[in-house]
């Protein structure tokens, strides 16, 4: 196979994925003359779900472009907000349980399951239900079956939530979804709830809801202060 030398420049927003040697402008990279540019970029550590335009000698190309010697490649980061087809739904890997709960409290459809079902099952689930796969696992995000995917950059749930809200700008509808199972909540009359509540609770609250999927009961004002703060901050300026 012919050895092909190209130069490649990654957007600084993608530097977290590439080795120090490839973070400069026009880093020299060898390829085999048959691999697609998409494959070359992935092999250098960058998930294609994070990549926007690929520019070769000033011209935008597709991921299937096969580089030839001397080409100057620029790899741009995906622009925000990111639009995906249909209604916006997410699927989170097993490490992102806190983020899943925070998305749900904001009314964002966020599927998440323990124990870990494995990468193949997650990818199939993403495809079947047209869910955007959220993960910090690059191997999972490389899977071709995914409907769509997004790398979660931060380790911290609060920052992770900001990342996803900035990137996808989902419609927020706080307190409409079950934080335990992602089911939709329906309003329940106080009379209906009375036999399920301690008398003190029945006196103190007026707005009740029940999860249509798991039956868990909710009453406004009884959730934790930290969830309140998350909702307040997310709704600010939106
Ligand atoms: Zn539920």
pLDDT at 51 over 80: yes
Where does 4-77 sit in CATH, by number? 3.10.20.30
Q: How far is the CA of 218 from the centre of ligand 1 (A)?
A: 10
Run of H or E residues at 7 = strand 4-10
Spatial neighbors of 140 by CB under 8 A, at least 6 apart, are 93, 119, 122, 123, 133, 149
Domain range annotation of the chain? 4-77, 86-172, 176-222
Report, at the CATH architecture level, how domain 86-172 is classified: 3-Layer(aba) Sandwich (3.40)
- Whole-prediction pTM value? 0.92
- Using alpha carbons only, what angle is made at residue 39 by residues 38 and 42, rounded to the nearest 5 degrees? 90
Q: How far is the CA of 164 from the centre of ligand 1 (A)?
A: 23
Neighbours of ion ligand 1 (CB under 5 A): 178, 180-181, 183, 211, 213-214, 216
pLDDT digits (tens, 9 = 90+) for 67-76: 999 999 999 9
Tokens of 131: 């869910």
pLDDT digits (tens, 9 = 90+) for 82-128: 999 889 999 999 999 999 999 999 999 999 999 999 999 999 999 99
DSSP string, 29-80: EEE-SSS-HHHHHHHTT--GGGEEEEEETTEEE-TT----TT-EEEEEEPPS
pLDDT at 202: 66
pLDDT at 238: 67
Percentage of the chain exceeding pLDDT 70: 95
pLDDT digits (tens, 9 = 90+) for 158-198: 999 999 999 999 999 999 999 999 999 999 988 887 777 77
pLDDT at 25 over 70: yes
């Amino acid at each position: 196979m012919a050895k092909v030398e190209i130069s490649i420049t990654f957007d600084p927003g993608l530097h977290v994925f590439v080795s120090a040697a490839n973070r400069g402008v026009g880093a020299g990279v060898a390829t085999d003359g048959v691999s697609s540019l998409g494959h070359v970029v992935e092999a250098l550590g960058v998930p294609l779900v994070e990549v926007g335009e690929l520019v070769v000698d000033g011209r935008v190309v597709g991921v299937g472009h096969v580089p030839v010697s001397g080409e100057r490649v620029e790899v741009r980061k995906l622009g925000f907000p990111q639009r995906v087809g249909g209604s916006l739904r997410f699927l989170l890997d097993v490490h992102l349980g806190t983020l899943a709960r925070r998305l749900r409290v904001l009314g964002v459809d966020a599927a998440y399951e323990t124990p870990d079902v494995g990468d193949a099952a997650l990818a199939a689930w993403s495809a079947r239900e047209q869910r955007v796969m959220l993960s910090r696992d690059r191997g999972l995000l490389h899977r071709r079956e995914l409907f769509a995917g997004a790398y979660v950059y931060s380790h911290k749930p609060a920052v992770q939530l900001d990342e996803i809200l900035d990137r996808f700008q989902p419609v927020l509808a706080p307190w409409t979804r079950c934080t335990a199972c992602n089911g939709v909540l329906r309003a329940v009359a106080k009379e209906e709830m009375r036999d399920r509540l301690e008398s003190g609770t029945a006196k103190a609250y007026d707005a009740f809801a029940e999860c249509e999927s798991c039956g868990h009961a909710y009453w406004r004002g009884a959730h934790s202060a930290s969830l309140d703060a998350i909702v307040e901050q997310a709704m600010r300026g939106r």
